[in-house]
Chain A
Amino acid sequence: MMENNVKDPKVATKASNNKEDRFQGHDYYNIDELLNDDHLLARDAVRSWVKQEVSPIIEDYSNRAVCPTHLFKGLADIGAFGPSLPAEYGCGGMDEIAYGIIMQELERGDSGIRSMASVQGSLVMYPIYKFGSEEQRRKYLPKLASGEFIGCFGLTEPDHGSDPGGMITNIKDDGDSYILNGAKMWITNSPVADIAVVWAKDEEGKIRGVIVEKGMEGFSAPEIHGKWSLRASITGELVFEDVRVPKANVLPNVKGLKGPLSCLSKARYGIAWGAIGAAMDCYDSALRYSQERIQFGKPIGQFQLTQKKLAEMITEITKAQLLAWRLGTLANDGKATPAQISMAKRNNVHMALEIAREARQIHGGMGITNEYPVMRHMMNLETVLTYEGTHDIHLLITGMDVTGLNAFK
């Protein structure tokens, strides 16, 4: 045939005016052999979706600091919202490794896109599933899974980040409803959300989960501008001024900090996998660049200092993959502890950020442009290092776990 048969199907993607996304996965230790068909098919599907829908537009949206909100529908259609929650609520019914792999592939595209899915699935759908009444589950989960509703998760406050237990947002009993007052800060998806799972203290000082709906009087969600990181994800505040919330909107089955913390465990687990995606994308780009860029008459990949960088990158990625895989098998057995999840989140995100920085150097001047995904990943990962518990807070969690001594008190 006249056409180049290998190229032909590949080019048949939308938005062909953009550079082709040549990403390939990396599996130095044949970890694929530890995965089953569900995992491989899920990875393949999400990778194709990212190449088709995310890669061609992400640099532009990120550059303009606009959230590609049209992708919410696509994320829902592919099944990225709550993939490991039961099928009877319109979710995927998959295992935790499949969920992790989906997050990995989304973050390979962009941490902001992965955040859109993490928040919806782990921080909104999961608490409704885990702590909600059957009525709440039936009311919200199918709509959240199908993307008809977008959700957000309000824990952090302007004056309470790492220390959410000190929150001042509160609810007061008023007959068949509660009156909600306070403010939340740094809330992913909040300006576009239909519902917010908000954590607030009741009159006894116990933290409760409340489902606040868009349009409730006294509730607003202004956008936060000026981010140099996660620019393709929309972030905002949640402001509550005497918002009347029906009692039927309170999550009945949890009281105390363990409510939000168990959601965070779920999301952090996804981030531990997601960060591998960002790291692989940086490594993949750097590896290719090192073979194509000629200096002093040879590919820069032939210089020992470049090889050191690449060798360390693939070593760290491989370690992170093994950590994530083992954590996944523990999670499937219901045995992954919050401290184990904390370790994987910290290690893998830090690993990804270091790799982004090294990969940026390998790309030379080109590395600072949006011709390559590296600088975008690097900037995104600064958020990922901080949200869902900062790097240092996670160090202290491991520290507390191994010493039995609490550094937070």
Chain B
Amino acid sequence: MKLLVCVSKTPDTTAKIAFTSDNTALDANGIQFIMNPYDEWYALVRALELKESAGGSVTVVNVGPAANDTVIRKAMAIGADDAIRVDAEPKSAYFVAQQIAAVAKGNDYDMIFLGKETINYNGSEVGAMLAELLDLPFISYGTKLTMEGNAAVIERDIEGGTEIVSVEAPFVVSAAKGMAEQRIPNMRGIMSAKRKPLKVVAAVDCEDPVRVVSYQLPDAKSAVKMVDPENMDELVRLLHEEAKII
């Protein structure tokens, strides 16, 4: 089985987010970056488990600058066999999807894994776009994936229940919590990752019609107002006049 796992780099979950002065980009100063947890914990680990049970190879792909190599090496320390980095700023989901599609084309991957979303943009866009560009089926938010012959049976959480789908390889799947469990790399893995091949390729020319106009932080949480349980009128007045929800 030939598996491709898309991994991206995101700010650490504890990072304090700020933007550059014109609010069009993240201010990366002092921010610690990690591998997107959905990519790392679920997509990558499930792909490794499949490889371990059925044989084959796991390649990771990342679109990003050389500074992303730490994240890529971590993926190889966890167990990926090799890696490809498309040397370009990941400007938008569409740009990234086109770059990964260019990598995947002609490589005949049986399955392409990615996390259900990144924890910074929460876009959930790359997977669907990638599948479309490669003309492959796309199964989103998979929480469980098992093989039955050449078909994968994938469970997806849906509102109030679970949907179970069956899909023949090749396909693209995005992984959510439940698909696998986090694996922590060990020191031998970290050292052997140094010897695994990391191929850097140039970005292909492609259209990128999306432009970020500006970013804005959410409003600070306002203080909690305590209302006496006896004073229903006051509660109704506040909900009406201040919260404006009734």
Contact = CB atoms under 8 A, between A and B. Distances in A.
Interface of A: 1, 5-6, 8-10, 12-13, 22, 24-25, 37-38, 40-42, 44-45, 48-49, 52, 77-80, 83, 87, 92-94, 98, 102
B93 to A, nearest CB: 16
Given A9-B38, A87-B188, A41 B122 contact: no
B235 interface: no
Interface in B11-38: 13-14, 32, 34, 37-38
A38 B186 CA distance: 11
A41 B119 contact: no
Contacts of A37: 69-70, 73
16 contacts: A6-B119, A8-B177, A9-B13, A10-B13, A12-B177, A41-B70, A42-B187, A44-B34, A45-B190, A49-B184, A52-B184, A77-B186, A92-B187, A94-B187, A94-B190, A102-B187
Interface in B31-63: 32, 34, 37-38, 41
- 10 A-B pairs closest in CB distance: A79-B187, A9-B37, A92-B187, A79-B186, A41-B190, A48-B184, A78-B186, A6-B13, A83-B187, A45-B185
Contacts of B77: 41, 45
Contacts of A48: 182, 184
A93 B191 contact: yes
A38 B76 CA distance: 13
B38 A87 contact: no
B195 to A, nearest CB: 11
Contacts of A93: 191
Contacts of B38: 9
A13 B185 CA distance: 16
Contact of A92 (B116, B177, B188): B188
B117 interface: yes
Contacts of A22: 14
B74 interface: yes
Contacts of A40: 70
Contacts of B37: 9
Given A9-B182, A45-B190, 5 more contacts: A24-B14, A40-B70, A41-B70, A45-B185, A78-B186
Contacts of A10: 13
A28 to B, nearest CB: 10
Interface string B126-158: 000000000000000000000000000000000
Contacts, number: 75
B188 A79 contact: yes
A37 B77 CA distance: 11
Contacts of B74: 41, 44
B187 A98 contact: yes
Nearest to B159: A2
A260 B70 CA distance: 38
B70 A1 contact: no
A78 B184 contact: yes
Contacts of A24: 14
Contact of A41 (B41, B73, B177): B73
Contacts of B188: 79, 87, 92
Contacts of B122: 1, 5
A284 to B, nearest CB: 11
B13 A1 contact: no
Contacts of A5: 117, 119, 122
B182 A42 contact: no
A257 B190 CA distance: 36
Given A9-B13, A9-B177, A37-B70, A45 B184 contact: yes
Contact of B117 (A1, A41, A77): A1
Nearest to A49: B184
Contacts of B191: 38, 87, 92-94
Contacts of B73: 37, 41
A12 B184 contact: no
A44 B189 CA distance: 13
Nearest to B188: A79
A202 to B, nearest CB: 37
Contacts of B14: 22, 24
A294 to B, nearest CB: 12
Nearest to B35: A44
A79 B191 CA distance: 11
B190 A12 contact: no
Which of B14, B185, B190 gathers most chain A CB within 10 Å?
B190
Given A1-B117, A24-B14, A37-B70, A78 B41 contact: no
A9 B34 CA distance: 13
A48 B116 CA distance: 22
Contacts of A49: 184
Interface in B160-191: 177, 181-182, 184-188, 190-191
Interface string B69-90: 1100110010000000000000
A134 B181 CA distance: 40
A245 B37 CA distance: 52
Nearest to B30: A30
Contacts of B184: 45, 48-49, 52, 78
B122 to A, nearest CB: 6
B64 to A, nearest CB: 15
Which of B14, B37, B177, B191 gathers most chain A CB within 10 Å?
B191
B26 to A, nearest CB: 15
Contacts of B194: 38
B144 to A, nearest CB: 15
A76 to B, nearest CB: 9
A286 B41 CA distance: 31
Contacts of A52: 182, 184
